Every structure is written in structure tokens, then in C-alpha cells.
Structure 1
């Protein structure tokens, strides 16, 4: 796994040993960032269930303002990958439970322009994250939420503020769903 383009182009990222992980493939990641295009530059990014930090580090390499990473199991690895890619000064890493950290961000009034959510498949975690982000202000008014989930995980929870604006399927295993706030969609869209 590597950073595709930008200031850290070609940098290889370490992956956890002995853990069941499913890092985003370079093909899916390239498609994701092609869809986002210039909407990455200058953005404040949150990468939850960050794993290796692959998505947030790619965003930093593509000139995101900063990135906050949350993963209880791999925080040390994310710090190592950020340092290896020379992106550590704009990377903030949290090793707590994702939902506890999201609650802390919400209480502190923190919001992010671009959120990547890539939890383990088939555990109900992406649905739980969607509900939390729908009910909180952690996603900025004009923000974009990108959820990576299993190709067979199609039961979206009922959302009152977020709307799926784009969905792409990649083979038999993965799909990306892009969400924005309904109120913002009345003004502009992805």
C-alpha cells in the first residue's frame, strides 16, 4: 500500500502484523480521490477506523490542511506512517474508541470538512457511525462524508440530516458511499 500522489507520492505505508485488516486498495482509493478532486485541498479531515492512516495520509499528501486519525488498535502505526511520509506535523492521532472520540469532538464543538469512515465490514459499525454523524455537528455544514462498506451491506439506517449523494461499487467486496447534509444540498452538491 502506498500514497498515490502529492507531496508523499510513492511512500509505502506499513500495515499491522497479525491483525485482520482490510486496507483500502490503491484502485478504490484512486477512484475515491478522483471523485473528490479539488475538494481535498485545504480541508480539515477526520479519518475514523483509520487502520494504517491510508486515506487521511493520502488527503494530507494532496494538500489537506490537517488530518485527525482515530483508531484504538493502530494509533502507534498511524504515527509511524505519518512520520515516514513526512506528514506528522499536520497529523493528530487518537488511540481511543471511535465513538468515544466522536462524542468528545461533538462536545468540544469540533467539525471536519471531510470525513473518511472505513470500519471493519459486517459489524454494524458504519451504520452506527452514520447515525452518530447524522445527529451531531461533527461533519461541517458543507462537509463530505465518505463511507467504505461491504458490497453486500446495503441496509442504510434512517437519516434525517444526511443524504447519500453518490454510491460506487468495486467488484464483489467494496462500495463507497458519499454523504452530504441535506440543507447544504439545497445550496450546492458534490
Structure 2
């Protein structure tokens, strides 16, 4: 597992110890960023269900200014911090130990806004978690107009559009499905 491209490209990342966390493969990660970037001119990214932090770190390496990582498992939090330190990105990141959906609600309450959201929950409950997260995002201003959401699920999962969140692309890579949403204009949101 490594940073694919950008300023920290080529640096190796540690996986979360144990089998509770499923890392995104380098092939899938590279495909995701080729679809949504591949590079960024600043902005803020939110990595929900962050695991090792590999997706958020990739976004930072490719030009995002700042990333907030939210993860519930203590070993994963330690791994994110180690990976941020190794890639010298700690100053551009905040790491919170919290249930991802509760953490998202806290950020909405604080008025935080993002240009990119990365949602990669455990496959067993991915559709449920993603549906809840998307409902919160749809009803708030947490994702800026034109902002993107990348959801990673099992290949059998089916996700739906929301009033302000339209699916713009889906791709399947073996057991993994990537669904990309964009926040569309013309929808009033509340905080």
C-alpha cells in the first residue's frame, strides 16, 4: 500500500493491523483519483471511515489543502497518525476518533464545508451507512456546490441519487464498486 501520485507519491503506507479494516487497493485508489482529479488546486477533504487514512492522504498528496479524518477504531487512529507522520502531512490534517456518522453531524453543526468527501465504510453495512451519510449531506451545506463524494462499496451494492446529490459515475473493480456523486445546484440546504 502506497501513495500513488503527487507530492508524496511512492511513499509506503502502513495498513491497519488485524482484519477489521479492509484497505482500498492501490489499483482502485489510482482509478478513483484518475476519475475525480487526478490533481487538485487546494480545498478541504473529509475522509469518513478513514481506516489507514490512505484515501485522504492521497488527496492531500495530489493538492488538497487540508483533510479531516474520522475513524472509530483505536488501532486505525494510530495507523492514520503514523501514516501522516511518515508522509509529513500531519500539519495539514485533523484526526478524530468518533463514529463516522456522528462525526459528520458534528462537522455539519460547526458549519464546515468540503469540496471532496470520501466514504468507505465496512462492506457488510456499507449501503446503510452511506445512505445515512448521504441523507445528512443532502440536507446540509457540508458539501459545496460542484463538490464530489466518492463511495466505496461491495460490487453488489446499489446506491441512489438524492435531491442535491446526483450519481455521475459508477465503476466496478472485481469485488469493489465506486460510486461518485456531485452536488448539483438549485437545491436549498439548511445547516
Q: Is TM more than 0.5 here?
A: yes
Over the residues paired in the alignment, what is the CA RMSD in angstroms?
1.7
* Segment of structure 1 superposing worse, 143-152 or 72-81: 72-81
1:150-165 aligned at under 5 Å gives the runs 150-154=154-158, 156-157=159-160, 159-165=162-168
1:137-152 aligned at under 5 Å gives the runs 137-152=141-156
Q: Distance in 1 between matches of 2:162 and 2:184?
A: 10
Q: Distance in 1 between matches of 2:6 and 2:117?
A: 19
Q: 1:30 Cα shift?
A: 0.6
CA contact (8 A) 1:142 1:184 kept: no
CA contact (8 A) 2:146 2:184 kept: no
Q: Name the structure 1 match of 2:84.
A: 82
Q: 1:106 Cα shift?
A: 0.8
CA contact (8 A) 2:39 2:62 kept: no
Q: 1:38 Cα shift?
A: 4.8
Q: Name the structure 2 match of 1:102.
A: 104
Moved over 6 A (4+): none
What number of residue pairs does the alignment pair up? Answer: 183
Q: Name the structure 2 match of 1:23.
A: 23
Q: Name the structure 2 match of 1:62.
A: 62
CA contact (8 A) 1:40 1:114 kept: no
Q: Which 5+ residue runs of structure 2 have no aligned equivalent?
A: none
Q: Distance in 1 between matches of 2:186 and 2:179?
A: 17
1:114-153 aligned at under 5 Å gives the runs 114-123=116-125, 124-153=128-157
Q: Distance in 2 between matches of 1:7 and 1:158?
A: 34
Q: 1:20 Cα shift?
A: 2.0
The alpha-carbon distance between structure 1 residues 145 and 61, as it changes in their structure 2 partners (threshold 3 A), is same
Question: TM-score of the superposition, structure 2-length normalised?
Answer: 0.90
**1:167 aligned to 2:166?**
no
